[in-house]
Amino acid sequence: MRLYADHNATAPLRPEARAAMQEALDWVGNPSSAHREGVRARRALEAARAQVAGLIGATPTEIVFTSGATEANALALHGAPLGDAPLITSPIEHASVVEPAQERIRLGGDVRWLQVDQQGRIEAADVTALCQGRACFTTLGLANGEVGAIAPIAAVAKLAHAHGGLLHTDAAQAAGRVPIDVRELGVDLLSLSGHKLGGPAGVGALYVRRDLSLTAMLGGGSQERGRRAGTENLIGIVGFGAAAAAAHQALPEATVALCRRRDRLWAGLRASLPDLVRNGPDTDSLPNTLNVTVPGVSGASLLVLLDLAGVAASLGSACSAGSHEASHVLLAMGRDDGQARSGLRLSLGHDTSDDDVARLIEIIPAVVSRARAGVAA
Going by the DSSP 8-state scheme, the letter that residue 336 receives in this structure is: -
> Per the residue annotation, which of 131, 136, 259, 319 is the catalytic one?
319
Rounded-to-integer distance, Cα 35 and Cα 37, Å? 6
Strands 137-141 and 311-312: unpaired
**Contact between 244 and 236 (Cβ < 8 Å):** no
What is the layout of strands, in order, in the sheet containing 343-347? 277-278, 289-293, 343-347
State the DSSP H helix or E strand holding residue 225, giving kind and residue range, or none if neither: none
Active site residue 259: no
Q: Which residues contact residue 281 at a Cβ distance below 8 angstroms, ignoring those fewer than 6 apart?
A: 119, 120, 121, 147, 148, 149
Supply φ then ψ for residue 138, to 5 degrees.
-105, 135
How many Cβ atoms from other residues are within 10 Å of residue 142's Cβ?
22
CB under 8 Å to 106, separation ≥6 — which residues? Answer: none
Q: What share of the chain is helix, strand, coil (3-state, %, to 5)?
A: 45, 15, 40
Catalytic positions, written as ranges: 319
